[in-house]
């Protein structure tokens, strides 16, 4: 009897052990099985979140945080700048993050004097972030800046519309994907940069249907996909009543331009 109890006890331990292992490995297992996509810009967002960047730059880098003593009285956000106003080239962004400001500014006595009056100054993160993390932060900030735009007029119009209609709130800056979506198949909102997009959008007809109707026939009629569509807590809105055909063409051109990825040359770190 006692022996039997001992066997049971052992087995209970073994079960508990494997259950714990299963729980610990779950995110890795799921990422492997589901082929989870994580873009550099999404990783950069997560790094910004845990590095405290948004405490000063506002949630999601929208700006508006009060900075008494500075001329603008606010900490700048990551978007809405003009290219000449803030450092937007990669090297200067890197210097801001690592040293608090680019060398040309730090050496300027006027700048040093000016920021002494600011209650909030940009901290130097050198030693707190790895090179890889800085790469990802730069990818996020550049995607978030809204300054990487297509030269094709129709696609450029699509970019404007995407900002106005709020596509990026769900799909991430420049459609980099990743915001959580409980109940959905992969657990996050898909982006437009890589294989998630290719799986969900096989051709332009499907792309148009996604935007017009918020879902596509191929998934709607598939029993398993249907189950996840109904379960997901965040869903793709149907835009058909709020955009005209020209605007739909523009959005399609923009999303295609993002997916084609030629702009990544402007955003070197996005390719690593
Ligand atoms: C304590 C507040 C504070 C924190 C925390 C902070 N910043 Fe800043 N940041 C500032 C201020 C103030 C400026 C404006 C400096 C200037 O105008 O020279 C600035 C400027 C910048 C700039 C250049 C201006 C722009 O918008 O392009 C970048 C890029 C930047 N910060 C990125 C970051 C990142 C990334 C993090 C987190 C790793 C971060 N900041 C954390 C206060 C902060
Ligand atoms: C409220 C959040 C939300 C907004 C706003 C939103 N989407 Fe979506 N979108 C989703 C979700 C969630 C899915 C995935 C739906 C599914 O799997 O059923 C999706 C799917 C898509 C897809 C197909 C798959 C992919 O890779 O993304 C495209 C394309 C798309 N949306 C484009 C847009 C465009 C363009 C806009 C702006 C006009 C937009 N979305 C606005 C949530 C949103």
What does the pLDDT look like over 142-191, one tens digit per residue? 999 998 999 999 999 999 999 999 999 999 999 999 999 999 999 999 99
pLDDT in tens, 31-70: 777 889 999 999 999 999 999 999 999 999 999 999 999 9
Question: Which fold is adopted by the domain 153-271?
Answer: Cytochrome Bc1 Complex; Chain D, domain 2 (1.10.760)
pLDDT in tens, 109-150: 999 999 999 999 999 999 999 999 999 999 999 999 998 999
Q: How remote is the CA of residue 148 from the centroid of ligand 2, in Å?
A: 20
Tell me if 254 sits within 8 A of 158, measured CB to CB: yes
On the question of pLDDT at 231 being above 80, the answer is yes
User: Which residues, listed in sequence order, are joined to residue 74 by a DSSP beta bridge?
Assistant: 66
The residue behind tokens 């998934």 is: 219
Ligand 1 lining (C-beta closer than 6 Å) = 48, 51-53, 55-57, 67, 75-76, 78, 86-87, 93, 96-97, 101, 120-123, 125, 137, 141
What are the backbone dihedrals phi and psi of residue 129, each rounded to the nearest 5 degrees, phi first? -130, 145
Q: Enumerate the domain spans of the chain.
A: 1-34, 52-128, 153-271
Distance CA 253, CA 264 (A): 17
Single out the residue of 151, 145, 200 nearest to residue 174, CA to CA.
Answer: 145
Q: How remote is the CA of residue 211 from the centroid of ligand 2, in Å?
A: 7
pLDDT at 115: 96
Model-wide pTM > 0.85: yes
pLDDT at 89: 80
């Amino acid at each position: 009897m006692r022996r039997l109890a001992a066997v049971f006890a052992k087995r209970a331990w073994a079960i508990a052990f494997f259950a714990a292992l299963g729980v610990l490995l779950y995110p890795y297992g799921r990422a492997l099985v589901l082929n989870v996509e994580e873009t550099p810009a999404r990783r950069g967002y997560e790094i910004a979140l845990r590095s405290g960047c948004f405490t000063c730059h506002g949630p999601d880098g929208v700006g508006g945080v009060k900075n008494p003593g500075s001329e603008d009285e606010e900490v700048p956000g990551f978007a809405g700048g003009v290219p000449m106003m803030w450092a937007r080239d990669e090297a200067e962004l890197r210097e801001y993050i690592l040293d608090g400001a680019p060398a040309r500014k730090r050496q300027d006595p006027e700048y040093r004097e000016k920021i002494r009056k600011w209650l909030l100054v940009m901290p130097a993160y050198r030693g707190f972030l790895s090179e890889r993390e800085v790469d990802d932060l730069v990818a996020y900030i550049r995607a978030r800046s809204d300054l990487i735009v297509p030269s094709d007029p129709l696609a450029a119009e699509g970019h404007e519309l995407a900002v106005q209609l709020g596509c990026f709130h769900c799909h991430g800056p420049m459609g980099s994907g990743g915001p959580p979506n409980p109940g959905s198949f992969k657990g996050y909102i898909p982006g437009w940069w890589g294989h998630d997009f290719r799986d969900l959008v096989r051709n332009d007809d499907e792309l148009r249907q996604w935007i017009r109707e918020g879902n596509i026939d191929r998934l709607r009629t598939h029993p398993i996909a249907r189950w996840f569509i109904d379960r997901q807590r965040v869903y793709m809105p149907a835009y058909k009543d709020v955009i005209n055909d020209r605007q739909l063409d523009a959005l399609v051109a923009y999303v295609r331009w993002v997916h084609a990825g030629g702009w990544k040359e402007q955003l070197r770190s996005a390719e690593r």
